[in-house]
Structure 1
Amino acid sequence: MIKIKKDISFVQLIPKVLQAVLNISLVFLAMILSILLVQELIIFGQILFKEQNSDYKLFLANILLFFLYFEFITMIVKYFKEDYHFPLRYFLYIGITAMIRLIIVDHDHPVNTLFYSIVILILIIGYFIMNITPRERPDSRWFFKK
């Protein structure tokens, strides 16, 4: 085995290198999402201050797209604050927001709208179940005690 330092072997170094690559990639992703968030604000302002404010669907779709960008950036911030862990609730928030956006943008087919609504209900039920379960998991060492 190749030794890098006295205490750290090559095999122990691999997860640290991969974690660093992941962290750098997430920082770049957060910067790209921030740029897209600002672009969405500019588009939102253009739609808001146009003379013809008749396309309310486009207005609502852009608001929800803004919140999707915002939630992804918030999730990346939480990832770094919570010691490299993505909280599950943020994925549920993003899923619910994305489904609401789909309903607003693509509501021409009633069956699809019903399916999107059922998906939202399932996500909300999952969020409810997640909130009623304790955050701290019970110690599983009692199972192995003799």
Structure 2
Amino acid sequence: MIKLKKDMSLVQIVPRVLQTVLNLSLVFLGIILSVLLVQELVVFSKILIQTKNSDYKLFLANILLFFLYFEFITMIVKYFKEDYHFPLRYFLYIGITAMIRLIIVDHDHPINTLFYSLVILILIIGYFIMNVTPRERPDSKWFVKK
């Protein structure tokens, strides 16, 4: 049972309740994604076992879908390991993987493929900028007056 102090106000209780709801929802989502990940492994193994089906597009699409599930589960794990914080780089990884999957699966229209490629380029440039930028914020040591 949760013990509440007498001096806790509503302003302190509401964020804790919402954080608990968010954490429980992410655990439930992680379980669902894990089930879907295992289901994707079963589908993937069926594709490998079937010798008649040599559709490499389906094969690659299923591999990338597997990695999308894997990345979402990894992001949820990182959320809990990094004190309830989603690292931005994982969103970029997921975006790049999703766009690559989209190019592999839906490459019938060249202009759409070009747009998807430009989106990947923008995500990679964003990732590069994020890695080049120093982790310290301006208020930490650069603007401290002596």
Using structure 1 for the length normalisation, give the TM-score. 0.92
How far off is 1:77 after superposition?
0.3
How far off is 1:141 after superposition?
8.5
SS in 1 for 2:22: helix
Tell me the equivalent position of 2:90. Answer: 90
Equivalent AA in structure 1 for residue 41 of structure 2: L
In structure 1, what is the Cα distance between the partners aligned to 2:60 and 2:141?
A: 51
In structure 1, what is the Cα distance between the partners aligned to 2:17 and 2:88?
A: 25
Tell me the equivalent position of 2:58. Answer: 58
Q: Which runs of 5+ in 1 are unaligned?
A: none
Q: Which runs of 5+ in 2 are unaligned?
A: none
1:7 lines up with 2:7 in the alignment: yes
In structure 1, what is the Cα distance between the partners aligned to 2:73 and 2:140?
A: 34
Distance 1:145 1:7, change over 3 A: farther
In structure 2, what is the Cα distance between the partners aligned to 1:34 and 1:105?
A: 23
In structure 2, what is the Cα distance between the partners aligned to 1:138 and 1:96?
A: 30
Instruction: Give the RMSD, CA atoms, in angstroms.
Output: 1.7
In structure 2, what is the Cα distance between the partners aligned to 1:97 and 1:126?
A: 15
How far off is 1:142 after superposition?
7.3
In structure 2, what is the Cα distance between the partners aligned to 1:142 and 1:99?
A: 38
How far off is 1:10 after superposition?
2.0
Equivalent AA in structure 2 for residue 98 of structure 1: A
Superposition misfits of 4+ residues, deviation over 6 angstroms: none
> How is 1:1-146 mapped onto 2 (pairs within 5 angstroms)?
5-139=5-139
How far off is 1:96 after superposition?
0.1
SS in 2 for 1:125: helix
Equivalent AA in structure 1 for residue 71 of structure 2: E
1:72-94 deviation line (CA, Å, top 9, x unaligned): 00000000000000000000000
Equivalent AA in structure 2 for residue 76 of structure 1: I
Deviates further, 7-16 or 100-109: 7-16
1:89-124 deviation line (CA, Å, top 9, x unaligned): 000000000000000000000000000000000000
In structure 2, what is the Cα distance between the partners aligned to 1:12 and 1:55?
A: 56
Distance 1:141 1:54, change over 3 A: closer
In structure 2, what is the Cα distance between the partners aligned to 1:141 and 1:100?
A: 40
Report how many aligned residue pairs link the two structures: 143
Equivalent AA in structure 1 for residue 133 of structure 2: T
